[in-house]
């Protein structure tokens, strides 16, 4: 399986997920993207096509931390939950973006739940 095959498979899975879920003003979508080194999270209102809040492992607060990539992902989850709470968002729908719910994605989701987000 080549890298291009893996990418195309993830995109195919992503399209299937996006057919089923969509973010609204009351319950926006928590979208996660994972690269080899970093992890990014955004809370998106799809009806207005606007990103409400976003954070990543590259922001100054988190980038200074040391730890494994999973530990950093947990911190990103806590940070996205804190930012969403400031905007008055309590519940979200989780968009794993075609990635397996495992490892760093699970750590981010657990961090977001620990921060008070419901999904």
What confidence tens digit (pLDDT) does each residue in 30-83 have?
999 999 999 999 999 999 999 999 999 999 999 989 999 999 999 999 999 999
- Report how far Cα 82 is from the mean position of its chain's Cα atoms: 13
The predicted-structure confidence for 11-24, as pLDDT tens digits, reads as follows 999 999 999 999 99
pLDDT at residue 3 in the model: 87
- pTM of this prediction exceeds 0.75: yes
Structural domain containing residue 69: 3-114
Give the chain's mean pLDDT. 95
Return the CA Rg of the chain: 14
Q: Provide the number of structural domains found in the chain.
A: 1
Share of the chain above pLDDT 90, in %: 93
The answer to whether position 119 is within a domain reads no
Q: What is the CATH number of the domain that holds 76?
A: 3.30.420.100
pLDDT at residue 53 in the model: 97
Q: Is 48 left (phi over 0), alpha (psi -120 to 50) or beta?
A: alpha
CA distance to 1, 14, 35, 118, per residue, from 32 (Å): 24, 11, 10, 16
């Amino acid at each position: 399986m080549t890298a291009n095959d893996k990418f195309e498979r993830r995109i195919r899975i992503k399209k299937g997920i996006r057919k089923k879920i969509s973010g609204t003003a009351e319950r926006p979508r928590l979208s996660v993207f994972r690269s080899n080194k970093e992890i990014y999270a955004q809370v998106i209102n799809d009806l207005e096509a606007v990103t409400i809040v976003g954070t990543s492992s590259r922001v100054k607060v988190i980038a200074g931390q040391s730890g494994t990539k999973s530990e950093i992902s947990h911190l990103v989850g806590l940070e996205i939950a804190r930012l969403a709470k400031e905007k008055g968002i309590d519940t979200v729908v989780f968009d794993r973006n075609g990635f397996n719910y495992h490892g760093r994605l699970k750590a981010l989701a657990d961090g977001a739940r620990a921060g008070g987000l419901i999904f």
